[in-house]
Every structure is written in structure tokens, then in C-alpha cells.
Amino acid sequence: MKKIALFIVLAIAGAACRQTSEKKTEIAVRDTTITVENSFTELFIDTTALASYTTAHALGDSLNAKLRSFYNHRNYQFAWFFPDGVAEFVPIFQSLRNDYIHYSGDSSLYNPTLDKTIDSLSQLKKISPDNALAVNAELTLTEQFFRYTDLAYSGDHKINTQELNWFIPRRKLNPEVFLDSLLKNKGQNVAAYEPVNRHYNLLKQKVLQYYALTKNGEPDTVGTNKKFREGDRDTLLVTLKARLHLLGDLPEPDSTPIFDTTLTNAVRHFQQRVGQKQTGVTGPAFFKELNVPIASRIRQMLINMERIRWMPAAPPTDYILVNIPEFTLHAYEDGKLSFDMVVVVGSEANSTVIFSGTLNQVVFSPYWNVPASILKKEVLPGIKKNPNYLARHNMEWNGGSVRQKPGKSNSLGLVKFLFPNSYSIYFHDTPSKSLFKESQRAFSHGCIRLSEPKKMAEWLLRRDSTWTSEKITAAMNAGKEKYVRLRGKNEMPVFIGYFTSWVDQHGNLQFRKDVYGHDRKMEERLFGPVKMPIAQATDR
């Protein structure tokens, strides 16, 4: 319970600090107003001890500066020890650190020597500032805390997110202020705080559950690609049921070789979790996903936990999130999910960019300005073949370019939604509705097609009573372009994200295919050369 409580404190403290820049650490001026008489501890470190420690441990410039700045702020008071013993939050931090090592598989923070020293110091009735073990443990704990916050909260700084086509500004953290907040709080009033990122914590718990599944090695897979449906009998169904029960899709174990209604529901449940059509019938695609090794799924979750660390700590209460691999848009109001809708995103060759912006314009009955590439490859050759090409496609010349007039056949449909960005990406309606029925919906030239554009318009304009449902319908079908500007609190933050694993609002662990190959690149950076690739988009 203490571990959970302090995790909440750490999280909220971090949330308060994440607006601080991660640029080169400036070393704080030493606060000499703090003395033995007015401090909360009699223990002070000799400044030469810190210099000796940083030299002996060959700390880099950044970490060296963080330690010096932290202790300058407190005039070299001890942070982790008091004269009468070890501070109460030391073992709690050790638990957090060990928890991180466990779920991440990162052993860089593992330090049994430090733990033994802390155990020894906890047996003492009095700790002196001259105790070399205490001084070393004090400085090592501070170093570990800074390393821990970088790894567990900010993500791996060796990864250049823009090289991975991720242009959402990376979350920022000031670890010195973070640690100061923790020490001042002393673990009190934790009930008033919420975790900094619920999605990260939910996924972390699933990682721990999956580790438990492999404690005796990789579980058995189902050695078939057969199509089974309700009413079938086969001994392979026993293995299928065991696998589905292991993964949590079949509630109760069942050793009968019969495909019954309960198994149908379990198959549908699994299909929903991996983004397949919920037919309740097995087949090659079903078994391919079902038999993905547990170790591979763990890596997939860890990759997405790393991405979550890059996201804003506390998103606005109202916002839109498009998850590209899920082909779904999520609209949030007052911090709660308001609705979802399926979308079509960019194809692999015309991938939708991962970025954030602010939606501030709704355009009813829009023109479509034909891109130069399409003008060159399709429109101009079409005009040469048929002088009536423009009229047939409801197009017209507009200066030196071509645009398609508003109407039901317009490529942008009846409405579009703009959030200014340098990638020319926006939301829009489409006259081609059939693609929304596909389970894999990466077909566009990069923009995002909405399955329910009117619903989106109604939601964005919900605070303006003049925009009734009837008026919105009329504007969409007016045949005359109309811009509606959203201002102030009506402007909507938009995040275009890329998550192939997450825990949904029902507590179900979700997986999706790596449609653009971003997971593959992340896997190589986090785990080295890939020996067991996670699910790829080509495995359809």
C-alpha cells in the first residue's frame, strides 16, 4: 500500500514539474541561509564528499550538475537519512525502483550493495555525518533517484522521437524539483492525488501479469490454422480453450473438445482485443494473433509504455485522440470518454504523421483543392483525354490550380475540420463509406477520414446554441463553403498518436498491428537486434 501511495505522490509531483525544460541543467546557487539551527536535520554533507563521489563514479556532466544543484538548494543537508535513522521514504523508493526493474527488465538500477548498506544503517541508533557509509548511501540514493525519474517518467533519452516520426512535444521533467517535492511531502495526503498517467499504470500491471504467465517458460501455442465454429468437435479445441483461458478471454477452464457458445464468446472477445472482425469463427488470421509469443507481447507493451512517457502528463479535460493503429478517434469531455468513431488513416506509403495540434475551424460544404501531385498524375492527363473531365468530376480551374466544388461527390465529403499544421493533415468526411467496414483502414493519402462527421460537428459546436442539428445538416448540404471559427474554450486539442497496445476503459488488454513499422524501429532501439518480431502490418 505504501508503494502505491508514494507512486501517486511521485506522479503528481512530476506532473507539477513537467513544464520545466530538459535542456542543459543550470547549477543552482548554494543556499547558505540554511544552517544546523534552522534545518530539519543536523546532518550535512562535506562539499568535498560530493566532489569525490562524482569523480569516482565518473558521472556525466548532466547528472553531476543535477546532484550539485540539488545539494546547493539545501546547503548540503542529507535528504535520505536523519540522525536517528533511515528516512521512511527510503524503503518505499527502493520498492518503486525494484518495481521498475521488474516490469521493464532494465537492470541498470540494480544495486544490491546499496541495499545492504541501507539495511546496515537502519540497525544503527544514531547516524553521524562523519559516517562514510551513510554519506555514500545518501549520494548514491540521490543519483539513483535521478536515474530512476529519467527512465520511469521521462523515457529513454537515447531515443530521438522525431527519427521515429513522432512529433508530439516530448514530456519534460525537472528531477531536482521532483525530488524536492517528494521530500517536502513526506508521503502525506496521498489520497488527494491521482496517478500521473492512468494508461501507463494499467499497461504496467498487464506487463507484470504477462511475466507471471512465463515463469515456467513460454505457454503452449495452438498448432493449427483450421476454421472452427460453434458445434464443431476436435481435440485441438482443448488446447484452444487453454490458451484463451490463459489470456483471460475464456473465464473458466474447460477441457471438453466441443465448440460451444461460451467458446464462441471467448473467440469474439479475443478478436475484439486484437482488432479483428468479431465473427466467433477461428482461422489463420485468428491463430496467428493467438499464437504470438508472450515474450513478444511483453515487448510490445513495453514499447508502448515508452511512448506513453512521451505524452503530456495531464492532457486537457476536453481533447481528441486518434490512435492510428486502432483506426479509431476518441473524443474526451471533462476527462471522460464521450464517444469513439472509426476512421481511415494514411496508407503505409502515405503515412499519417504523429503530432499534436489545436482544432479551430469547421468548414461546411468545403472545396477540395487538388494537390499538385494528383493534378499532375491524374487530372491533367484526364483533361487531355477528355475536355469534359473537369465538369464530369465537378471541378473547376482556380488560378493555376484545380479545385473540386462542394457537393456530395466532393472528395472531402460535406465537412472538414482544420487544426493548422505543417503536415497538411486534417479530418474530413468522405463520399466513399465502404472502407469504414474494413478492419484494417490505412487507405488515405495522409488525412483522416471520419465515419461520423456530423456527430463530430455537433460535438465541437455543442456550446453554441445557434448551431442546431438541423442547421448543421443544412450547412453540410448548402453547396456553399462556410467557415466556422472555434474560439477560446471551444478550440479542441488534437493528438494523433501511435499505440499498438493499451488497456481500454473496460480493463481489456488491446493489441494492434504495427501498420507503419514504428514498433519494429522502437524494438531495435530498446532491446537491440530483433530476434522475435512483434506483429507486423503485413501479417493480415
Q: How many CB atoms lie within 10 A of CB 9?
A: 21
- Clarify whether 269 is annotated catalytic: no
What is the Cα–Cα distance from 137 to 421, expressed in whole angstroms? 49
Annotated catalytic residue, options 269, 447, 506, 518 = 447
Helices (H), 123-227: 132-149, 175-185, 198-213
Grid coordinates belonging to 493: 486539442
Helix-helix angle 47-56:132-149, to 10 degrees: 60
Look at the alpha carbons of 308, 164, 16, 86 in this order and tell me if their dihedral is positive or negative: positive
Q: Which member of 73, 269, 428, 518 is catalytic?
A: 428
Minimal CA–CA distance to 285: which of 327, 234, 226, 325? 226
d(CA 142, CA 151): 14
- Distance, in Å, from the CA atom of 182 to the CA atom of 6, rounded to the nearest integer, reads 9
- Gap between the Cα atoms of 444 and 436, Å rounded: 12
CB 124 within 8 A of CB 86: no
- Give, as one character, the DSSP assignment of residue 336: E
Return the C-alpha cell found at 155: 523515457
- Catalytic, 506? Answer no
Q: Which residues of 182-218 are buried (b: 16+ CB within 10 A; e: fewer)?
A: bbebebeebeebebbbebbbbbbebbeebeebeeeee
Q: Which neighbouring-strand residues pair with 493?
A: 358
Measured CA to CA, the distance from residue 413 to residue 2 in angstroms comes to 55
At residue 203, what is the residue type? L
Task: Give, for 82, the enclosing helix (H) or strand (E).
Answer: strand 81-82
User: Phi/psi class of residue 167: alpha, beta or left (left: φ > 0; alpha: ψ in -120 to 50)?
Assistant: alpha
Q: Cβ(514)–Cβ(351) under 8 Å?
A: no
Helix (H) or strand (E) holding 100: helix 89-104
- Residue 96's H or E segment, with its range, is helix 89-104
Angle at 66 between CA 61 and CA 71, to 5 degrees: 130
**What are the two backbone dihedrals, phi and then psi, of residue 344, each rounded to the nearest 5 degrees?**
-110, 130
Grid cell 501511495 is found at 5
* Strand ranges, E, within 253-324: 319-323
What are residue 477's phi and psi, to 5 degrees? -110, 15
Q: What are the catalytic residues? A: 428, 447
